[in-house]
Amino acid sequence: MLTRKQHDLLIFIERHLRETGVSPSFEEMKDALGLRSKSGIHRLISALEERGFLRRHHHRARALEVLRLPEDRVARGAAPPSEPADRAGPGAAPATGFSPNVIRGDFSSRLAGARASKDASAVQLPLYGRIAAGLPIEALRDPAGYFDFPTALLTRGEHYALEVAGDSMVDAGILDGDTVVIRKDETAENGQIVVALIDEAEVTLKRLRRRGNSIALEPANPRHETRIFPAERVKVQGRMVALVRRY
């Protein structure tokens, strides 16, 4: 649940992005919400980030990205595609131009696309073998199967699933046989759990730490050692965004 101020700020940012193509300034956001100081805007944006509605691109000025809108806004905020917004009926909210948060189906040829599930609230992600198989993800041209996952728990972007083999991440709550959902990405922040490709030959699921010009891949089990490589030997292939365990 969002507070009224969080809700109003998110809708204002989304509308401003849609109409102008750029993020509103903190001054514009402050005035739009009737706040006295910009510090209140900072707190609201941080709360929206934590709840997965908003993303800040910290290395660019005025760079905000709306990841999703509140469910009530998605359900009631826009006219159906076949019906213009000005014919949506009296009292209807203005169209937002927002598309529900779904997984794109246009994966590259190396990563087969997600496909529709029989469950309208889910998507089928390609399931690529076991993470300790010793092959780069790209080498697995054909998924072993497909894995149903709720679209509401995924952000925008390309995703795939992997089955975990081994106990190197047990202290992070990741057990042998679990399925992890990976968002395809080539970058990651320190401390994030990533799929890392080493020397174009070995793939592993570990916590990433940058140390100068080196990258440390940390297990979450004291029985396993941290491995440190020159940065050029390691490629991030995705960041873990979810875990599923069957009982």
Catalytic residue among 168, 184, 214, 235: 168
pLDDT at residue number 233? 93
Q: Which domain holds residue 125?
A: 115-244
Percent of the chain, pLDDT > 70?
Answer: 71
Confidence of residue 71 (pLDDT cuts 50, 70, 90): low
Q: Is 129 helix (H, G, I), strand (E, B) or coil?
A: strand
- Give yes or no: residues 47 and 127 share one domain: no
Q: Check residues 90 and 113 and name the one with the higher pLDDT.
A: 113
Within a domain: residue 108?
no
pLDDT at residue number 118? 54
Confidence of residue 191 (pLDDT cuts 50, 70, 90): very high
Within a domain: residue 11?
yes
pLDDT digits (tens, 9 = 90+) for 122-151: 778 878 777 753 444 554 555 667 878 887
The count of domains in the chain is: 2
Catalytic residue among 82, 206, 214, 235: 206
pLDDT at residue number 134? 43
For the CA atoms of 230, 131, 127, 243, the dihedral, rounded to the nearest 10 degrees, stands at -90
Average pLDDT of the segment spanning 15-24:
85
Active site residue 118: no
Say if pTM beats, i.e. exceeds, 0.75. no
Number of Cβ within 10 Å of residue 156's Cβ equals 16
Within a domain: residue 75?
no
Q: Average per-residue pLDDT in the chain?
A: 74
Residue 195 in contact with residue 233, Cβ under 8 Å?
Answer: no
Within a domain: residue 214?
yes
- Give yes or no: residues 122 and 222 share one domain: yes
Confidence of residue 16 (pLDDT cuts 50, 70, 90): confident
Among the listed residues 178, 212, 180, the one whose alpha carbon sits nearest the alpha carbon of residue 194: 180
pLDDT at residue number 163? 86
Within a domain: residue 101?
no
Cα gap 209→191, rounded to integer Å: 6
CATH of the domain at 219: 2.10.109.10
Active site residue 168: yes
Within a domain: residue 110?
no
CATH of the domain at 33: 1.10.10.10
Confidence of residue 6 (pLDDT cuts 50, 70, 90): confident
